Structure 1
Amino acid sequence: MGKGFTLKLAWNNIKQNRKFYLPYVLASVGIIMMFYIMCYLAFNKGLASLAGAEYISFIMVLGCVIIGIFSIIFIFYINSFLMKRRNKEIGLYNILGMEKKHIGKILFTENLITSLFSIVAGLLIGVLFSKLVHMILCKIMGVSVPIVFNISWIGVVFTAIFFGALFLLVLLRNQMKIHLAKPIELLHGSSVGEQEPKTKIVMSVIGVICLAAGYIIAITIDNPLQAIALFFVAVVLVIIGTYLLFTTVSIVVLKALRRNKNYYYKPGHFTAVSGMLYRMKQNAVGMANICILSTMVLVMVSTTVCMSAGINDVIDQMTPKDVTVSQVFIDEPDMNKMEPAYLDSTLSGLKAVAARSDVKAKGTTNFTAAAIALKLKDTSFEFGDSYSIMNIITADEYERITGEKAGISGNEVISSGTETPDTFTYGGESYTTVKYVKNLMASGNINGVNTYNIVVSNLSKVKSMVRAAGDAYNGMTYIATFDTDSSNSATEAMAQKYANCSSVGGGRVRLRSDIKNQLGGFTGGFLFLGIFLGLVFTFAAALIIYYKQISEGYYDKEKFEIMQKVGMGKAEVRKSIRSQVVAVFFVPLIVAGCHMAGAFNMVRQMLSLFSLNNVGLFVECSALTFLAFAAIYAFVYLVTAKEYYKIVQWGEQ
């Protein structure tokens, strides 16, 4: 077979099958473009000068890894649709006398054309849009960027090598499949999966156990460190459970519907149930893939949006004013640092240091808090768990901070930070929370733990609570805050002088502007990555749905033609099609919503690592994300359903 003939036949095959090849090529171009852009950002030297650059670089490298892994799975999965659709055509070539080596040459040429076009087009578009994406990232982070066009040659080489190797593996897989298959198998390859699947009790039980275990882990976790440690375990269990349940439980449900004669023996129900049952093995895998991708989009986007929307609360908690001065006194035996005399003298010293540095301090206030390591179990605090901290201050200090009367006595407390129960037990005594105040104390850092800030009636009460804590007492933290109109350089000079003149080590000064820049880089990078990957996975889910509709349309065409001939009207056919398509489309979305709800507690715990404890905000972000994704999902349904109807020829033309 001549090279010219092989090239001509390969190109003609691509044109004849453009309905299948075009989405595949466009998807490949899109993934390659996105992979290059992520590499461009990961290796971009200009980002190194931004605040939080170390976070941004890590996030972009993580994005490269995620897109790379996803690309392998996605391209192999979509290629399987293409090959299954073309099995009959390839088998016919073989029966008509074409040797397998000649078929292999044709497949090689087709793969070479689509791969080269995808890589070249993907890189060109990626280079074209990389600067725009860079500017969008900087806009999200709130920084300016010079408009200078450049190309990441490292990204170009890495992208070309990675996807060249990936397309080569796809080709080898196709060649091996053709070489090992018999012509008769290829002719009937597009009909594989039509045999009725068996009910698999063992797989159903394993699926239920995996899914239940993943949900239990996610729902029962009560601290951020466990959430991070078990997150991957829970995700794997839910993914396994999702695949098994779509494969097994769906068959059980459909067979139960078939046994219900009153439901099954109706024209619309008969065709829908029987059609889905006989192809459920293929349907289940596709539906599970759509469900997992949808869950990834929902969790990723809602989390990153919540991080971005709640970052100001975190900044307010860490540095409620322009400057926060802090010192930690470990195992300090006396309580004199909570006395007004000590607080007055240290505040006067701080003002003197600020004045010598030409820093004008406004609205100065300070306090000293006793720290206790503990854990809240139901409504009782237990000592010793280091992932929860209680900071205790007196009513006098509360009045210094707020300028308001505390109005508490006995075992009444005012709560801030992580909210305490209305009534709780501490050291065998019962306490009552009379009020919650937002951002009462500056935390000084993102500690990744539940931080209970409480105000008690007097210093004697603090001493008794410290004695009750025993070894769980973690010392004291002194914090002073003030606003200033001075420059950052003057404030930084003041910070250095304060550290040098401090009589006790550990003193430090935090500027609100620095914290804002650092967290802006961190949350901005995550928001960008979440939206970026969300678009990738949404596009992938849409393409999988498209191929499912196309493949099922060709399978159903003959069936509906036969049903038409034996007396089923067009209206009945349309109703049957609609019921089947709607089920295949929206069951994955519903299950994804359930997964999102199941993961809510675990994600909330991980968000608390960044001091994001606003549950209401996370609920709002999750709900809005689900509604937005559902709208996009419905649009994809409308578009792909039309293609399905066109193929079976009884719907819209």
Structure 2
Amino acid sequence: MKTKFCLKLAINNLKRNKQIYIPYLIASISTIFTFLVYVAIGTTSTMTSLPLQSEFVQTFFKVGTIIIGLFSVFFLIYANSFLMKQRMKEFGLFSILGLEKRHMILVLFFETTFIAITSFVCSLIIGFVFGNIFFRLFVNIMNLNGENYFFIGARAITRTLSLLVIIYEIVFGINTFKIHHTKTISLLKSNSVGEKEPKGHSLIAIVGFILLIFSYLYALSASKISDLILFAPILMTATYLVFIAGSIAILKAIKKNEKLYYKPQNFISVSNLMYRMKKNGVGLASICIFSTAIIFLLSVVSSVYFGKDSMLRTRFPNSIEIKATENLDGVYDEIHLLAKNNNILLSDKQGDFSEADNQYTLSFNTEGTEKNRIAFAKNIKNSIKEKSIITYFASRDLESLDWYNYFGGGLFLCVFMGVLFLIALILILYYKQLSEGIEDKKQFQILQDVGMDKDEIKSTINQQIKLMFFLPIGMTILHMIVGYNLICRVLAGFHLSDTLLIFKCILIVIIAFSFVYVAAYKITSNIYYKIIN
């Protein structure tokens, strides 16, 4: 009887709290679906039948599976923390009404099980329906020809189910611990405990600004790809310290300015932010870091993809280059005959002898269709491979095929990570507005009761929301402006030296992301206004 009652109570709880559970369910479905499709693509016959030189791609898929899996675990645990904060008072009420903690844990078990099963079933359905879209994207990025079919196999389903079980076992364990080790009175007051004004953060603020300046100077002077590994954690640490401690230091400075502080709008906004900035600082820093990661990943992906020809031309100035220990005039006559058979025109022939390595070099460019150029290069490679005098052969067109093998997996992983980060960002924005709206509702009701009119309250809310939302994107754009030099140097390591192309890609990604960010701001701010009103 108690089991049936708890099951019914769990279903009613999910219906009653749909405002917080639906976004959480969408986030869960999105992350599980992303993992499922990524693993499914990595285990298709198309992937397993790639040539040996594509082992780099398969390695990227293995690494990507681990990264996406770990991100899914931490992201859903993070989202669950927002969700549970809104539920604690409700569980405190259940306790007063006579529901024992073991029964509340049973209710949590049913709720968690329902979310997990729904996430898995929906992910499977969406995966079978829309997974082929991502597979087509992979095929296009890799430039694969022939028949390529997408199928979600047993291995992908098994791995996804294992990840799902791990995630929700951890989530259920965390929620059980909170309920079991929290007193009833604490459960009731958990959603109404305010933040104390932070004290003694001046030193941390100074350290944060120093680290930020250092990371910017480091980015401007960086010259190696490995520098990115050191730059990222320094920038992340600096961002968190600046938002948590630096923002408080700025607010305290405003508070000391009586002319600026003692105005109705500024007084309320600054005071409100002052008491809750420690928590908000972490959220704002997370939004900034996720935004920077999304823009960085998509900028690199688009730059590398659209800069492929520039990369290959930088690395291979000529279409064909051959080196040998003897004169190559006879070899060129054979090549000229092959060119006629493949409808290829030869131009810009260059031949010289290098005394440094005691070798003859023959290089030239080719003109014709891409298909004919590739066939011609393969014919040359086959015809000279038996010649003992040949020491080196390179073809820009054949390297173009290998380019997809070496970079395709990385680009595809970056696209997937960009999608995941965007989902995480939107959910963080949503829960942030939801939790702050609930916390601020009573405060603004009190202000209205003491004589502050609705227009002043609305103006104060607008001022606070705009600051909280546009500060992270402003810092993100600043990160990207300073990091532009580092991105150019990193891509130069891959022979992409077209800085104008890189700048255009970064600018387009920033503009597109800003539109998405503003749209998320509009949607989530409406939720905040509805709660306040």
| Equivalent-residue separation in structure 1 for 2:100 and 2:288 (angstroms) | 41
Mapping of residues 451-490 of structure 1, within 5 Å: 478-483=361-366
> Which residue is equivalent to 1:349?
330
> Which residue is equivalent to 2:498?
614
* 1:271 to 2:246 alignment: no
Q: One-letter code of the match for 1:285?
A: V
The answer on whether the counterparts of 1:87 and 1:189 sit within 8 Å (CA) in structure 2 is: yes
The answer on whether the counterparts of 2:205 and 2:249 sit within 8 Å (CA) in structure 1 is: no
> Which residue is equivalent to 2:432?
548
> Which residue is equivalent to 2:67?
66
| Equivalent-residue separation in structure 2 for 1:269 and 1:108 (angstroms) | 46
| Equivalent-residue separation in structure 2 for 1:632 and 1:168 (angstroms) | 33
From 297, 308, 313, give the equivalent of 1:316.
313
> Could you say what secondary structure the match of 1:613 adopts?
coil
Mapping of residues 368-447 of structure 1, within 5 Å: 368=352
Q: One-letter code of the match for 1:480?
A: S
> Which residue is equivalent to 1:506?
391
* 1:326 to 2:210 alignment: no
Deviation at 1:123, TM superposition (A): 2.5
> Could you say what secondary structure the match of 1:279 adopts?
helix
> Which residue is equivalent to 1:294?
291
Q: Which runs of 5+ in 1 are unaligned?
A: 330-344, 371-462, 464-472
* Shift in alpha-carbon separation, 1:626–1:476, aligned structure 2, 3 A: farther
Deviation at 1:69, TM superposition (A): 2.1
| Equivalent-residue separation in structure 2 for 1:630 and 1:476 (angstroms) | 55
> Could you say what secondary structure the match of 1:327 adopts?
strand
> Could you say what secondary structure the match of 2:493 adopts?
helix
> Could you say what secondary structure the match of 1:29 adopts?
helix
Mapping of residues 165-176 of structure 1, within 5 Å: 165-176=166-177
| Equivalent-residue separation in structure 2 for 1:479 and 1:131 (angstroms) | 45
The answer on whether the counterparts of 1:29 and 1:118 sit within 8 Å (CA) in structure 2 is: yes
* 1:365 to 2:249 alignment: no
* Shift in alpha-carbon separation, 1:121–1:313, aligned structure 2, 3 A: same
**What's the TM-score once normalised by structure 2's chain length?**
0.92
| Equivalent-residue separation in structure 2 for 1:328 and 1:69 (angstroms) | 50
Deviation at 1:240, TM superposition (A): 1.5
The answer on whether the counterparts of 2:269 and 2:463 sit within 8 Å (CA) in structure 1 is: yes
The answer on whether the counterparts of 1:48 and 1:54 sit within 8 Å (CA) in structure 2 is: no
The answer on whether the counterparts of 1:42 and 1:57 sit within 8 Å (CA) in structure 2 is: yes
| Equivalent-residue separation in structure 2 for 1:475 and 1:235 (angstroms) | 45
| Equivalent-residue separation in structure 2 for 1:364 and 1:495 (angstroms) | 20
* Shift in alpha-carbon separation, 1:102–1:363, aligned structure 2, 3 A: same
| Equivalent-residue separation in structure 1 for 2:374 and 2:95 (angstroms) | 77
> Which residue is equivalent to 2:82?
81
* Shift in alpha-carbon separation, 1:186–1:57, aligned structure 2, 3 A: same
The answer on whether the counterparts of 1:135 and 1:145 sit within 8 Å (CA) in structure 2 is: no
Alignment deviations for residues 406-456 of structure 1 (CA, whole Å, 9 cap, x no partner): xxxxxxxxxxxxxxxxxxxxxxxxxxxxxxxxxxxxxxxxxxxxxxxxxxx
| Equivalent-residue separation in structure 2 for 1:218 and 1:615 (angstroms) | 16
| Equivalent-residue separation in structure 2 for 1:188 and 1:474 (angstroms) | 80
The answer on whether the counterparts of 1:203 and 1:248 sit within 8 Å (CA) in structure 2 is: yes
Q: One-letter code of the match for 1:519?
A: W
* Shift in alpha-carbon separation, 1:561–1:594, aligned structure 2, 3 A: same
| Equivalent-residue separation in structure 2 for 1:147 and 1:499 (angstroms) | 32
Deviation at 1:119, TM superposition (A): 1.9
Q: Counting helix residues as a fraction of each chain, which structure ranks higher?
A: 2
| Equivalent-residue separation in structure 2 for 1:127 and 1:22 (angstroms) | 22
Alignment deviations for residues 111-150 of structure 1 (CA, whole Å, 9 cap, x no partner): 1111111122123212322222111222344444536452
Mapping of residues 567-606 of structure 1, within 5 Å: 567-606=451-490
* Shift in alpha-carbon separation, 1:598–1:184, aligned structure 2, 3 A: same
**What's the TM-score once normalised by structure 1's chain length?**
0.76
* 1:246 to 2:243 alignment: yes
* Shift in alpha-carbon separation, 1:120–1:477, aligned structure 2, 3 A: farther
* Shift in alpha-carbon separation, 1:165–1:144, aligned structure 2, 3 A: same
* 1:633 to 2:517 alignment: yes
> Could you say what secondary structure the match of 2:191 adopts?
helix
Aligned sequence identity (%): 32
Deviation at 1:55, TM superposition (A): 3.6
> Which residue is equivalent to 2:253?
256
| Equivalent-residue separation in structure 1 for 2:472 and 2:70 (angstroms) | 22
Alignment deviations for residues 614-648 of structure 1 (CA, whole Å, 9 cap, x no partner): 11111111111111111111111111111110110
Deviation at 1:369, TM superposition (A): 8.4
* Shift in alpha-carbon separation, 1:369–1:233, aligned structure 2, 3 A: farther
| Equivalent-residue separation in structure 1 for 2:83 and 2:302 (angstroms) | 36
Deviation at 1:79, TM superposition (A): 0.8
* Shift in alpha-carbon separation, 1:259–1:490, aligned structure 2, 3 A: closer
The answer on whether the counterparts of 2:206 and 2:246 sit within 8 Å (CA) in structure 1 is: no
The answer on whether the counterparts of 1:7 and 1:106 sit within 8 Å (CA) in structure 2 is: yes
* Shift in alpha-carbon separation, 1:267–1:157, aligned structure 2, 3 A: same
* Shift in alpha-carbon separation, 1:140–1:251, aligned structure 2, 3 A: same
> Which residue is equivalent to 1:644?
528
| Equivalent-residue separation in structure 1 for 2:92 and 2:483 (angstroms) | 47
The answer on whether the counterparts of 1:358 and 1:490 sit within 8 Å (CA) in structure 2 is: yes
Deviation at 1:366, TM superposition (A): 1.5
> Could you say what secondary structure the match of 1:192 adopts?
coil
| Equivalent-residue separation in structure 2 for 1:584 and 1:491 (angstroms) | 58
| Equivalent-residue separation in structure 2 for 1:66 and 1:5 (angstroms) | 40
Q: One-letter code of the match for 1:199?
A: G
The answer on whether the counterparts of 1:359 and 1:494 sit within 8 Å (CA) in structure 2 is: no
Q: One-letter code of the match for 2:449?
A: K
| Equivalent-residue separation in structure 1 for 2:481 and 2:403 (angstroms) | 27
Give the stretch that moved more between structures: 143-152 or 16-25: 143-152
Q: One-letter code of the match for 1:115?
A: A
CA RMSD in angstroms comes to 2.5
Deviation at 1:600, TM superposition (A): 2.1
* Shift in alpha-carbon separation, 1:488–1:205, aligned structure 2, 3 A: closer
> Could you say what secondary structure the match of 2:197 adopts?
coil
Q: Which runs of 5+ in 2 are unaligned?
A: none
Deviation at 1:110, TM superposition (A): 1.0
| Equivalent-residue separation in structure 1 for 2:232 and 2:377 (angstroms) | 46
Deviation at 1:49, TM superposition (A): 4.3
Deviation at 1:83, TM superposition (A): 1.0
Give the stretch that moved more between structures: 59-68 or 345-354: 345-354
> Which residue is equivalent to 1:95?
96
Q: Counting strand residues as a fraction of each chain, which structure ranks higher?
A: 1
> Which residue is equivalent to 1:34?
34
| Equivalent-residue separation in structure 2 for 1:110 and 1:166 (angstroms) | 14
> Could you say what secondary structure the match of 1:34 adopts?
helix
| Equivalent-residue separation in structure 2 for 1:132 and 1:604 (angstroms) | 31
Give the stretch that moved more between structures: 63-72 or 43-52: 43-52
